[in-house]
Structure 1
Amino acid sequence: MQAYVFPGQGAQFTGMGKELFEGNSQAKELFLEANDILGFDLSKIMFEGTDEELKQTNVTQPAVFLHSVIAALVAEDFKPDMVAGHSLGELSALVSNKTLTFQDGLMLVSKRAAAMQKACELNPSTMAAILGLEDKVVEDVCASIDEVVVAANYNCPGQLVISGSNKGIEIACEKLKEAGAKRALPLPVGGAFHSPLMEPARQELAEAIENTLFSKPICPVYQNVDALPHQDVNEIKSNLIAQLTAPVKWTQSVEKMIADGATDFIECGPGKVLQGLVKKIHREANVSAI
């Protein structure tokens, strides 16, 4: 069974999507339509922008979404049995399995990025990658700190990203090093994604999601909040809203997809981040990209 997976923020790079744009007329039309919908020339920034420009949340999220979704939509042999996306990538997955239209998906991504940026400005905060510790140890250390700091991304065994206030992350990194972490590495991000500090963004995005048409998908989406397959539209909406303040259970999602019969994982979008994570989660999985 084929599982298509879609990356999140951080997969971007200068030149992303250019080969698609130049080599496929349908892809070119979609890129140009996206520029019109967003009201700025996103494709030009994707193809020629600096790393600094691409790091801006209002650019990064639609850029990664656009590259991922267009790669899937123009692929001749795109026949998913199941889909999943890491954080932002969940919206790409929902377009690929026909839950959302391309246009509605892009608008939600744009609103998501704006809402998250506002939440970041309200609460100065950050994230850090913790390597070489069991999840339970990281969770217990975070719970022992009086500041806001939580497990945010369960990426693969031995790699867990934490999220919280600047002070909380600083304290947690020191405590986790003392607990035996190989590395506790602060990340160059603008806020505490997938933490309670994203509550203002969750509230804002909830309204946009409730006002968007969701259709019955052609295959299950394994959602970040519970790592389970969903095809019920109301469940998908609810989980997508909860995602902003809840952890991304990527390890658990991949394990569940494999348990449900996934043999081939195909990453759609820029970079190879998810290919690496899937291999670390399950050494036997076949992994490729489009």
Structure 2
Amino acid sequence: MGKVAFLFAGQGAQKPGMCADVAAAEPAAKAVFDMADSVRPGTSSQCFSGTKEELTATQNTQPCVFAVDLAIASALKSHGVTPDVVAGFSLGEVAALTFAGSLTNEKGFELVCHRGELMADAAAAHPGQMRAVVKLDADVVKDLAAKAAAQSGGECWPVNFNSPQQTVVAGTPEALSALDGLVKAARGRALKVAVSGAFHSPYMEDATKGLAELLSGEYALAEPSLPVYANLTGSPYPQSADERADTLAKQASNPVQWTLTLANMREAGVDTFVEVGPGHTLTGLVKRTLSGVTAISCENEEQLTAVVAELA
């Protein structure tokens, strides 16, 4: 077998009841939730019993998904399943960096709480939405986004390059409404994304500035203990401390290069991808992007047991 990668789930993967069974069965997972509750009381109850609406609010989504991601990865590690490389989708990148030792669990959780608040504030100041466009190539989506902006007088940008035929576009409601029609005419599909803002777009520039300040101080990123692939570049985080901070801060207001990330991991010898956290979105993106690899979801105790049996 080749190398193993952990992929940490991002915003949009949240769901009511997530990780309750893992936290009940796995001491390493429970320790993560205990830490989260000590920093932000009520985090575990939001994960285990929060409503869909409650979990969709950015300031709740980000700390909750982070806690679930890190809890499941920690449980796998406690059973002897360790990755060679890691990556996280959007907020999952903070969980990946934390798992790799760039931040302590507490500092990583505090940082993602700040990140959620900063992005929620930016979303309130610049209201927007997101669409996942499928069945069309990225270059086609880029052209349609430009046309939608011109037709509507609004703004929209391709922001998540998820797979060869899935690109997420962020922008104003009027521009995305125009995009819906253009995508349909081009025989693609535009699906609403369960988030509350135009993330990874220029509308998040204030969040990037806020993160840059945090990362220059008590949340400075130490060199990770294993390669962490960055959304911004699709490549491992740089060795320079200043460049690491710049990479994570800019991630909030720049596109996620996920297709490139997966391709670079494969080229580096990864052939087994384990998605840690809620949902199976990243597992599906691996299967639609790469051939000859194994992609496994791990979001509940049954799946965790199966992954341990296969990889420990």
1:72-87 equivalence runs, <5 A = 72-75=73-76, 76-87=79-90
> Counterpart of 1:157?
164
1:18 to 17, 20, 32: 20
Q: One-letter code of the match for 2:117?
A: A
* Residues 235 and 80 of structure 1, relative CA distance in 2, 3 Å threshold: farther
Residue 5 (structure 1) shift: 0.6
CA distance in 1, matches of 2:26, 2:140: 48
2:225 equivalent to 1:218: yes
Q: Find the counterpart in structure 1 of residue 131 from structure 2.
A: 128
Does 2:123 correspond to 1:116? no
Deviations 1:223-280 (A, max 9, x none): 1111012251333221111111111111110011001110111111112111111011
1:247 matched to which residue of 2?
255
Unaligned regions of 5+ residues in structure 2, if any? 299-303, 305-312
Q: In the alignment, residue 89 of structure 2 is paired with which amino acid?
A: H
| Corresponding residue for residue 38 of structure 2 | 36
| Structure 2 residue 196 is the aligned partner of structure 1 residue 190 | yes
Equivalences for residues 40-51 of structure 1 within 5 A: 40-51=41-52
Moved more, 253-262 or 167-176: 167-176
Which of residues 237, 240, 245 in structure 2 aligns to 1:230?
Answer: 237
SS of aligned partner of 1:218: coil
Partner of residue 98, structure 2: 95
C-alpha distance after superposition, 1:87-132 (max 9, x if no partner): 1110111011111111111011100110111111111111111111
Determine if contact 2:220/2:245 at 8 Å carries over to the other structure.
Answer: no
Distance across 2 between alignment mates of 1:78 and 1:92: 17
Q: Which moved more, 1:140-149 or 1:11-20?
A: 140-149
Asked whether the equivalents of residues 225 and 246 of structure 1 are also in contact (C-alpha less than 8 Å), the reply is yes
Q: What's the CA shift for 1:143?
A: 3.0
Provide the rounded CA distance (Å) in 2 between the counterparts of 1:238 and 1:156.
Answer: 25
Q: TM-score, normalised by structure 2?
A: 0.88
Structure 1: stretches of 5+ with no match in the other structure: none
Corresponding position of 1:61: 62
Query: CA contact under 8 A between 1:151 and 1:163: conserved in structure 2?
Result: yes
Q: 2:4 corresponds to which letter in structure 1?
A: Q
1:19-51 deviations in whole A, cap 9, x for unaligned? 22211233323212211201x211112111211
Residues of 2 paired with 1:14 and 1:141: CA distance? 34
Letter in structure 2 aligned against 1:230: Y
Contact 1:112 1:205 in 2 (8 A): yes
- Alignment match, 2:281: 273
Q: Give the structure 1 partner of residue 108 of structure 2.
A: 105
